[in-house]
Every structure is written in structure tokens, then in C-alpha cells.
Amino acid sequence: MSEFLDIALSFPPIVFSFGLMLVVLYWLTVIVGALDVDVVDVGGESGAELDGAGGFWSAFGFGAVPFTVVLSLWITLGWIVTVLGTSWVRSADGMFIPAAASGTAVLVAGLGVGMLGAKLLTRPLSRLFEDAPATAHADLVGKVCVVRTGTVTLDAGQAEVVDDEGAVLLINVRRSPHEPEGIEDSLFDRHAKVVVFDYDEVDKVFLVVPVALPPDVAVA
């Protein structure tokens, strides 16, 4: 046990060990209902969340899964790879690789394999977040929902809505490229109320506008 702790608290596993403790604590609070699955707001007040920053996460296929799920998988897999890699390096006899070089190599492997593994695992998980709202999209048009990501843009965003059966759904939402001019971006920030007015069959996302439009905005 002491040898395992020594490895887990050494470089590079220590890079992931602290994060893994936070992941375990986070999911325990989710289980007891104290937090939402998407409680982490990466964008903060600036709204520049990772999910929508330059399409970075979407480019890796993470757009349909909450950021907290992706981050949890990445940290967990990275921790496993670095612990196993460090254990193997220490047990390998006759190797004269500097500790800094071997540690850096194991860290890079943990980051890379962690991301690849997270991508593979989020593929089936993405269906859990998309199938339910997509099958009843017509029933959700006209409903008011609450933004759950840092903001909603033309390329990214998620919101929480209650369907006719009382079930709470997390749906992918987007702003419309044809929305009236003069709508402030702050009306799409986290916790803002927006209304679903259409469903994009091609991109399989719901189009939303703020519940209360400014008085100087003219709707075509």
C-alpha cells in the first residue's frame, strides 16, 4: 500500500491524483443530488467556455457530452496510465533513462491516451444526451428552458427543459443566425431563460431566443 501511495504521489501521477480526488468528490455530490452534471462553468464571466472556444471540443467529438463528463474520463484515464507507466519504469531493470525524461514521457502518454480514451467512451455516451430530446423535438418547441452552459452561441450551448411528462431534459441549443439585431449576448448567459422556437433537423439542435426581448428589438 505504501508503495502504491508513493507512486500515486510522485511525478507524473501527482498531476492527475489531485484532479482524481476532485472528480470522486464531484460525482459523490452529484449522486446525492447536491450538484448538476454540468455545474462546472469553464467560461466563467467571460463566457469563453472550452465547449465553444473556437470549436476546440467539438473538433474532438466532445460537443454532445457535458464538459464535466469528458473531464472526469480524461483525468481518470490519465491517472491510470501514469500510475501504470511509473510503476513499469521503476520496475524495469537496466534502464538508464533520466527521471525527468521518463516522467515527462509518461505524462505525455497519460494526457494523450486519456484524451483518446475519453473520446472513445463519449461516443456511446453522447447518444444518452441526444436521443431523448431528439425523439420529441416537436413537443419542445415553444417551451421555456434554462441555459446550463456558460453561454449559448451559434456553435455551442446546452439548456435544461421540462417536457410534458415532467422529465427534465438536457438539450443542445443554439442561437439562430437570423435572430433580430440588438439582442445582447448576456441574455444567453448561464441561468438565463430562453424559449425554443425551432428545431434544426440537419444539426439536430434546438434554436432559442430570450424569453423577454428588449423593447427596441424588432421581430421580423
Q: What is the pLDDT of residue 219?
A: 46
DSSP-assigned letters across all residues of 179-217: PPTT--GGGGSTT-EEEEEEEETTTTEEEEEESS--TTP
Which CATH code is given to the segment(s) 136-210? 2.40.50.140
| Alpha helices by DSSP H, the chain | 2-8, 13-31, 56-59, 67-91, 99-135, 137-140
For residue 27, which amino acid is it? W
Q: What is the pLDDT of residue 38?
A: 52
The CA dihedral of 78, 84, 87, 88, to the nearest 10 degrees, is -120
pLDDT digit string, tens, across residues 59-105: 555 656 777 888 899 999 999 999 999 998 888 755 566 777 888 89
Q: Within 13 Å of residue 180, how many CA atoms lie on the same side as its CB?
A: 13
DSSP state, residue 12 = T
pLDDT above 90 (res 54): no
- Per-residue confidence band for 129, with pLDDT thresholds at 50, 70 and 90: low
- Per-residue confidence band for 33, with pLDDT thresholds at 50, 70 and 90: low
Contact assessment for residue 127 and residue 163, using Cβ atoms and an 8 Å cutoff: no
- Per-residue confidence band for 39, with pLDDT thresholds at 50, 70 and 90: very low
- Per-residue confidence band for 53, with pLDDT thresholds at 50, 70 and 90: very low
- Per-residue confidence band for 201, with pLDDT thresholds at 50, 70 and 90: confident
CA dist., res. 137 & res. 206, Å (int) = 8
Record the pTM. Answer: 0.52
CA dist., res. 220 & res. 212, Å (int) = 16
Compute the average pLDDT of residues 37-45.
44
Domain ranges across the chain = 2-134, 136-210
Q: What is the pLDDT of residue 134?
A: 43
Residue 67 CB partners (closer than 8 Å, separation 6+): 38, 40, 42, 49, 50, 51, 57
Residue 77 CB partners (closer than 8 Å, separation 6+): 110, 113, 114, 117, 118
pLDDT digit string, tens, across residues 143-191: 999 999 999 999 999 999 988 878 888 899 999 988 888 888 999 999 9
Q: What is the pLDDT of residue 47?
A: 38
Q: What is the pLDDT of residue 196?
A: 94
Phi, psi dihedrals of residue 162, rounded to the nearest 5°: -105, 125
